[in-house]
Chains A and B, each alone.
Chain A
Amino acid sequence: MKIDFTINGIPKTVDVPENMPLLWVVRDVLEMKGTKFGCGQAACGACTVHLDGEAIRSCSFAVQYAQGKYITTIEGLSKEGKLHPVQQAWIEEIVPQCGYCQPGFMMSVANLLDKIPNPTDEEIDDNITNICRCGTYYRMRKAIHRAAELNRS
Chain B
Amino acid sequence: MLVIRCSETRTSNNEIRKQKSEYQKTNIEYRNYMGKKSINRRGFILKTGVGLGVLLGVGVVACGPLRRTIAQKVVEGAPGYKNEYEAYIWFELQPDGSIILHSPKVEMGQGIFTALAQIAAEELEMDYHNIKVVHATTNHGPIDALSTGGSLTIPSLYQPLRELASTMREMIKINAAKLLGVPANTLALKNGEVIGSNAKLSFAEIATKSTEWHLKIENLVLKSKKDFTLIGKPIPRIDLVPKVKGETLFGIDSTFPNMLFGSVARPPVFGAVFKSAEAGNAANMPGVIKVIIEDNFAAVVATSRVQAEAAKKALKINWAMPDKLVQQADVEALVRVGVGKDVIIQKEGNTGILKDDNTFTKEYYSPLGAHAQIEPNGSAAFYQNGKVVVKMSTQVAKITRDEVAKALKIDAENVDIQSQYLGGGFGRRLQTSHAIEAALMSKSVGKPVHVFFERSEEFQNGVLRPPTHNILKAKLDANGTIEAIEHHTASADVAFNSTLLANIFKPLSSSVAESLVGADFGAWRGGMIQYKNIKNYSTTAYHKELPFQTSWWRGLGLLANTFAIESFMDELAHHSKQDSLAFRLKHLSDDARGNSIKNVLKAVCEKSGWGKSLPEGHGMGLACSIDVNTPVAQVAEVEIKNGQIKVKKVTCAIDPGIIINPDGVKAQVEGAIIMGLSATLFEEVTVKDGLATPNAFGFYPMAYLRDAPQIEVVLLSTGESPRGVGEPPIGPIGAAIANAVFNLTGKRLNRIPLQSYMT
Contact = CB atoms under 8 A, between A and B. Distances in A.
Contacts of B668: 97
A133 B670 contact: no
Given A17-B306, A43-B697, A97 B111 contact: yes
Contacts of B672: 135
Interface in A21-65: 21, 24, 27-29, 31, 33-44, 46
Contact of B671 (A43, A74, A97): A97
B201 interface: no
A67 interface: no
A16 B671 contact: no
B424 A74 contact: no
Nearest to B702: A131
A83 B241 CA distance: 10
Contact of A103 (B246, B371, B372, B696): B246
At the interface, is chain A mostly helix, strand, loop or mixed?
loop
Interface string B451-472: 0101100000000000000000
Contacts of A106: 244, 246
B135 to A, nearest CB: 14
B62 to A, nearest CB: 38
A146 B595 CA distance: 40
Given A41-B696, A125-B706, A138-B670, A99 B109 contact: yes
Nearest to A95: B244
A94 B667 contact: yes
A46 B374 CA distance: 8
Interface stretch (B47-55, B339-347, B407-415, B708-716): B708-716
A46 B423 CA distance: 11
A5 interface: no
Given A16-B304, A44-B374, A96 B243 contact: yes
Interface string B277-290: 00000000011000
Task: Categorize the interface residue count of chain A.
Answer: 35 or more
Contact of B696 (A19, A29, A43): A43
Nearest to B450: A28
B373 interface: yes
A80 to B, nearest CB: 14
Given A19-B306, A99-B239, A141 B667 contact: no
A94 B663 contact: yes
Contact of A34 (B110, B239, B246, B710): B246
B307 interface: yes
Most buried by B among A21, A126, A131: A131
B261 interface: yes
Contact of A36 (B261, B374, B455, B667): B374
Contacts of B697: 38-39, 41, 43-44, 131
B670 A135 contact: yes
A95 B107 CA distance: 16
A130 B703 CA distance: 10
Contacts of B425: 98
A101 B674 CA distance: 15
A6 interface: no
B253 interface: yes
A31 B423 contact: no
Given A41-B697, A75-B246, A100-B424, A138 B674 contact: yes
B87 interface: no
A90 to B, nearest CB: 5
Nearest to A98: B109
Contacts of A17: 286-287, 304, 306-307
A74 B245 contact: yes
A31 B450 CA distance: 13
A12 interface: no
Contacts of A150: none
A136 B244 contact: no
Contacts of B376: 37-38
A97 B109 contact: yes
Contact of A141 (B245, B253, B708): B708
Nearest to B674: A135
Contact of A133 (B249, B452, B675, B708): B675
A46 to B, nearest CB: 6
Contacts of B35: none
A22 B372 CA distance: 23
B705 A133 contact: no
Contact of A41 (B304, B305, B455): B455
A52 B231 CA distance: 47
Given A17-B286, A44-B697, A133-B426, A28 B243 contact: no
Contacts of B702: 131, 133
B682 to A, nearest CB: 12
Nearest to A132: B374
Nearest to B671: A135
Given A16-B304, A129-B705, A133-B372, 19 more contacts: A20-B304, A33-B249, A41-B455, A43-B698, A87-B244, A96-B109, A96-B237, A97-B110, A100-B375, A101-B423, A102-B246, A130-B705, A134-B424, A134-B675, A135-B673, A138-B670, A139-B667, A140-B708, A141-B708
Question: Which 3 residue pairs across A and B have the least CB separation, nearest first?
Answer: A34-B246, A135-B674, A100-B423
12 contacts: A17-B304, A20-B304, A33-B255, A41-B696, A44-B698, A83-B245, A96-B109, A96-B239, A125-B704, A136-B667, A138-B709, A140-B705
